[in-house]
Structure 1
């Protein structure tokens, strides 16, 4: 099967102040030291790879005191050029939301909505051709789903996350192309698994080992799939479907609970 890549526009934030000084997910252990220089190098490798593939990467300035800003996917959700801001569940990250809103307002985005309910951007919102998939259970409020549907005018499918290791939807599910996804069933409640089977009967199913390597925290341009290099079990099935998997080493950033997708917010243009 031949796949065509579509040029994308991404927003990323360098890990200039990255560290693990608190724990708000099971991946974070403040006792484990972070090599900031290595984290920067790994992040730059991801940024440069996007650009080499023909994508545009915009940069958001890191701010002191906000060590998780590198996980730019959490700061907003952009669909059809419209920006739904984030409202973070934990005080440690709360100020990131305004930093993102300031960036959008300063870069020509005119439809910007400050949310009333807790959502953590593309951490818990995944955009397919037909739906806006929306995670809940650990961070984002179910009330944010109606807010997103009203703002974007797209049908929202709520999905319940039940394993704390997969605290955001983007740790357990990845949109590959159109309405084609890959996901890890055990991260979801029985009812949500049934919904996913009904909507996506041909989805690529990840193993527990590949999910535990954060292999689903991946980014696809419709052909190339950038994902953690340790998720080796996903490479063959992706190739079988015509995709070109590209392994990335973001091991230092994994100490904060994120990988490729967490570092990458997609700026979807107006249609």
Structure 2
């Protein structure tokens, strides 16, 4: 995770961002800290990278790396305003003992568009990540990749349209919002995940699907009441957090969280 010390909305690269609206960096920091505290209360270790001036979206650490079995595929941002973030994270990985670190040739916004299910990597495209980056991810990470096409600009990354809830069972469990995907991708999702939780439009509209699951707890925005009810019915423990200030940049719990697997 990366503290939002320099958080503000000074440009617009997705429909959620409006530079004319005021932001409160102190409130963003308080909400981020509460999310970090919730992870640690659940028994997780949180590694923190130093924020950098001039990079207000660096708080959204999920976009800067994908880690599977200790192998790291870095990111290459589509928007020039975020491009410099990638190298800060690359150096963090090398400084912290990761030896298999590859920076991509193709545009790839990491866990923003890559979701590990435990058996395969779901890969989004349509707005940010180049479809050719999916093949690059398969080659670097050595895992099978399934491409999914996003069609609604409000859900510009896969992680605001789909969340993996259980990546440990032979049949992974996911939750997703169907209308964020093309018809063909919806058919793929139904085939792969016939028991998936289907999120409501209200859940999607508050970035409720931009959640993090550890297989027991599901950390999600306080407004995502329908999704919280559904995950609880499936045996998970919802942990509700306030990310209203960070949502002004189109981010939520998952955007703030890169998962270090292996």
Q: TM-score range by the shorter chain?
A: over 0.9
Report 1:57-206 matches (<5 A): 57-178=46-167, 179-206=172-199
Mark the runs of 5 or more structure 1 residues left unpaired by the alignment.
1-11
Q: Deviations over 1:169-209 (max 9, x none)?
A: 00000000021100000000000000000000000000101
Gaps of 5+ in 2: none
1:60-114 deviation digits (Å, cap 9, x = unpaired): 1000000000000000100000000000001000000000000000000000001
Q: Does 2:21 match 1:28?
A: no
- Secondary structure at the residue paired with 1:115? coil
The yes-or-no answer on 1:265 pairing with 2:254 is no
Q: CA–CA distance in 2 between the matches of 1:117 and 1:218?
A: 26
Per-residue CA deviation, residues 219-242 of structure 1 (Å, 9 max, x unaligned), is: 000010000110111121111100
**Partner Cα distance (2:123, 2:222) in 1:** 26
Q: 2:235 aligns with which of 239, 242, 256?
A: 242
SS of corresponding position for 2:153: coil
After TM superposition, the score normalised by the length of structure 2 is: 0.98
TM-score, normalising length from structure 1?
Answer: 0.95
Structure 1 outlier segments of 4+, above 2 Å = none
Using the alignment, how far apart are the partners of 2:179 and 2:142 within structure 1? 30
Q: What is the alpha-carbon root mean square deviation over aligned residues? A: 0.5
**Aligned counterpart, 1:5:** none
1:147, distance to aligned residue in structure 2 (A) = 0.4
Distance of 2:141 and 2:110 partners within structure 1: 13
Instruction: Classify the secondary structure of the residue corresponding to 2:35.
Output: helix
